[in-house]
Amino acid sequence: MLFLKRFYNKLFPKDREFVNKLSHLVGFVPANESIYKQAFLHSSLSGDVTMNNERLEYLGDAILDSVISEVLFSRFPKKPEGFLTETRAKIVSRKKLGRIARAIGIQELLSHNNIVITGSSSILGNALEALIGAIYLDAGFKAARNFVIKKMIVPHIDLSKIANTELNYKSRIVEWSQKNNALIKFRIISEQDFKTHRIFKTELSVNEKHISIGEGPNKKSAENAACRLAIEKLKITDN
Amino acid sequence: MLFLKRFYNKLFPKDREFVNKLSHLVGFVPANESIYKQAFLHSSLSGDVTMNNERLEYLGDAILDSVISEVLFSRFPKKPEGFLTETRAKIVSRKKLGRIARAIGIQELLSHNNIVITGSSSILGNALEALIGAIYLDAGFKAARNFVIKKMIVPHIDLSKIANTELNYKSRIVEWSQKNNALIKFRIISEQDFKTHRIFKTELSVNEKHISIGEGPNKKSAENAACRLAIEKLKITDN
């Protein structure tokens, strides 16, 4: 049934230009054009939530998270949960998604709806998430997963590189402590030896008060992990 | 192949008691026992991340989010993204998940691994998420989706009730403003009429400074939405 609908759509699309561009982008002929049109409709063009792309973005965001989670889970079989969560956050950051959306050519479909492309990467990134939601509804999880892996990750994301760029949380904590006249201290609380690796646990205290414990394969990375938690806990922002 | 493995497992499970309990819990005979055993192994019993359930919990958490997102998306076709996100957060809260995990009987499989059940609902909730991750890896997205819908949502979650319990963000903001001697003001900035409903937009200012804009079908709910955003923006915590 779905196959027939796809076939029919291929022969007689209601909006041939849109369907052509879309099929090229997603790698298959969509069965239900209208849901994709919704994915590209920014809320500034329709406040009606059943028409614009906000709901689809919400759905696509969750599907994207699942696929990225699975990809990182298999790509880094020995890494702890904290590493996977952090790497996922780097990939699905607004900035990164906006860049991927642009590289994929989302703007061509947005402009189809006469949106003035302001160059806002968040509009593009959101539309990309909404597109993933639309693919999921139109063609199922496997199709959405395929799209994320083949069109987003493989051509545009260097997983090893992202994984290795450790965000420097320690420098942020140091900067914050100077600004706030706070005394920060690190203390190694344990060093475990496993067959293949070691795990350091380090405590971070501020003004002699326990704040967080981080772990990692070396002192530096354990300290950094403690700082990451402290930033969350103390709600330290960049501004 | 997978079918044969399941069939074989049914006839000659390595650990019949575990496989029986597990099959009863998930509703099918698992192909790969070991991944489920990992799902029930708390990090206090193994610091080795390739053995304990933390990585699976990370994966399952994302899959659970996807399924809940889709369920809410279809169940509430006219609700805005903010409502869906908020309702999802209520469902996947630590407390709620712990309760569902207990109702499902997760503790029986945990005790299989000789964990002393401390009654901590977070250990149970995390194991439930890890189980979802294990089902995904062992039997695919559809099986994981089925489990979430048939074993968790249908018997244990009253979606309409959860959706209607609006969290009272306004009272938190009012309390915070009193504590901090801040002046809060609400101002309706627009009222849109649609065929079937109205949308109010309300601005919240603190000490005459714009903080957030919330929207909803009536003044109260728009104010509450503005307060929710303000709590995030101002990083107001409960303590």
d(CA A84, CA A189): 24
Inter-chain touch A85–B59, beta carbons under 8 Å: no
Is residue A61 very low, low, confident or very high in pLDDT (cuts 50, 70, 90)? very high
Q: What is the pTM of this model?
A: 0.73
Give B121-161 pLDDT, tens digit per residue.
788 999 999 999 999 999 999 999 999 999 999 999 999 88
Inter-chain touch B58–A81, beta carbons under 8 Å: yes
Residues A107-127 as b or e (16 or more Cβ within 10 Å = b): bebbeebebeeeeebebbbbb
Predicted confidence at residue B11, as pLDDT, reads: 62
d(CA A206, CA A182): 6
- Please name each of the domains of chain B with its CATH number: 15-164 (1.10.1520.10), 169-233 (3.30.160.20)
Residue A239 has pLDDT above 50, yes or no: no
A64 or B93: which leads in pLDDT: A64
Q: Which chain A residue has its CA at the smallest distance from B141's CA?
A: A141
Predicted confidence at residue B210, as pLDDT, reads: 93
Q: Is A147 on the interface with B (CB under 8 A)?
A: no
Query: What is the rounded average pLDDT of the residues A182-204?
Result: 88
Residue B114 has pLDDT above 60, yes or no: no
Q: Is A129 on the interface with B (CB under 8 A)?
A: no
Q: Which two tokens stand for residue A103?
A: 């590289």
Q: Which two tokens stand for residue B123?
A: 């250990």
d(CA A122, CA A44): 13
Predicted confidence at residue B7, as pLDDT, reads: 67
Inter-chain touch A80–B48, beta carbons under 8 Å: no
Residue B108 has pLDDT above 80, yes or no: yes
B16 or B98: which leads in pLDDT: B98
Q: Is A215 on the interface with B (CB under 8 A)?
A: no
Which residues are CB-neighbours of B168 under 8 A, at least 6 positions away? B224
Give B168-180 pLDDT, tens digit per residue.
788 889 888 988 8
Enumerate residues 50 to 89 of chain B having a beta carbon within 8 A of any beta carbon in chain A: 50, 54-55, 57-59, 61-63, 65-66, 68-70, 73, 77-81, 84-85
d(CA B121, CA B123): 5
Contact A22, A12 (CB under 8 A): no
Q: Which two tokens stand for residue A199?
A: 């795990």
Look at residues A84, A50, A40, A52 and name the one whose alpha carbon lies nearest to residue A65: A84
- What is the interface pTM, i.e. ipTM, of the complex? 0.72
Indicate which residues of B carry an active-site annotation: 61, 129
Inter-chain touch A81–B199, beta carbons under 8 Å: no
Inter-chain touch A50–B235, beta carbons under 8 Å: no
